[in-house]
Amino acid sequence: MNFSLRPWTINDLDSLIKFGNNKDIAKFMTDKFPHPYTKEKGESFIAFAAQHTPVRLFAIDIQGQAVGGIGIHPQDDIHGKNAELGYWLGEPFWRQGIITKAIIQMVDHGFKNFEIDRIFARPFGTNTASQKALQKAGFTLEARFEKTLYKNGEYLDELVYAIRRDQKK
């Protein structure tokens, strides 16, 4: 399925709420991405997304609709040569290879626009779909931290996948 990555706009608010307000997405996200996903949370996110130049947070657009999001978060201090990758996709678009392709595009964007040498992602140990997407995009598993995350009343493993500038496909 064809998609594009583009900056978020306030016109995406309804789509953001429509696709983001899903407990099956929220269960794999930090608590900053809550369920239910409210209008106020969406407005706050879109305002935050518009703050950065170059753009760091993109809507995943299919036929003019924001159906997911992907972003790169450059780190600071001694971690300054690293950036964290985060993403989500509306459930109707799962299992179509969209996230893997979006990850590859964001890796290119990250290495082109930021002075970083490593991009990492931290999927939950229970999120096998995300792990597979990262692997298909060229990321390798660097670490597994057992039961370090606490989400919805249970402890979960945190995985760290990464790709380095000199490893990029």
Asked whether residue 155 is assigned to any structural domain, the reply reads no
Asked whether residue 142 is assigned to any structural domain, the reply reads no
Residues 134-169 have pLDDT tens digits of 999 999 999 999 999 999 999 999 999 999 999 865
Task: Give the C-alpha separation, 52 to 28, whole Å.
Answer: 25
Asked whether residue 24 is assigned to any structural domain, the reply reads yes
Q: 14 pLDDT band (50/70/90 cuts)?
A: very high
CATH number at residue 90: 3.40.630.30
Asked whether residue 132 is assigned to any structural domain, the reply reads no
**What total of structural domains would you count in the chain?**
1
Using the 8-state DSSP alphabet, how is residue 166 labeled?
G
Helix (H, G, I), strand (E, B) or coil at 156: strand
Task: Give the C-alpha separation, 8 to 61, whole Å.
Answer: 10
Asked whether residue 165 is assigned to any structural domain, the reply reads no
Helix (H, G, I), strand (E, B) or coil at 144: strand
Q: Are 160 and 142 in contact (CB under 8 A)?
A: yes
What would the DSSP string read from start to end of 51-110? Answer: T-SS--EEEEEETTEEEEEEEEEE--GGGTTEEEEEEEE-GGGTTSSHHHHHHHHHHHHH
Task: Give the C-alpha separation, 122 to 147, whole Å.
Answer: 13
Asked whether residue 106 is assigned to any structural domain, the reply reads yes
pTM of the full structure: 0.95
Asked whether residue 162 is assigned to any structural domain, the reply reads no
Domain that residue 68 falls in: 4-122
Q: 41 pLDDT band (50/70/90 cuts)?
A: very high
Asked whether residue 149 is assigned to any structural domain, the reply reads no
For 82, phi then psi, to 5°, come to: -125, 155
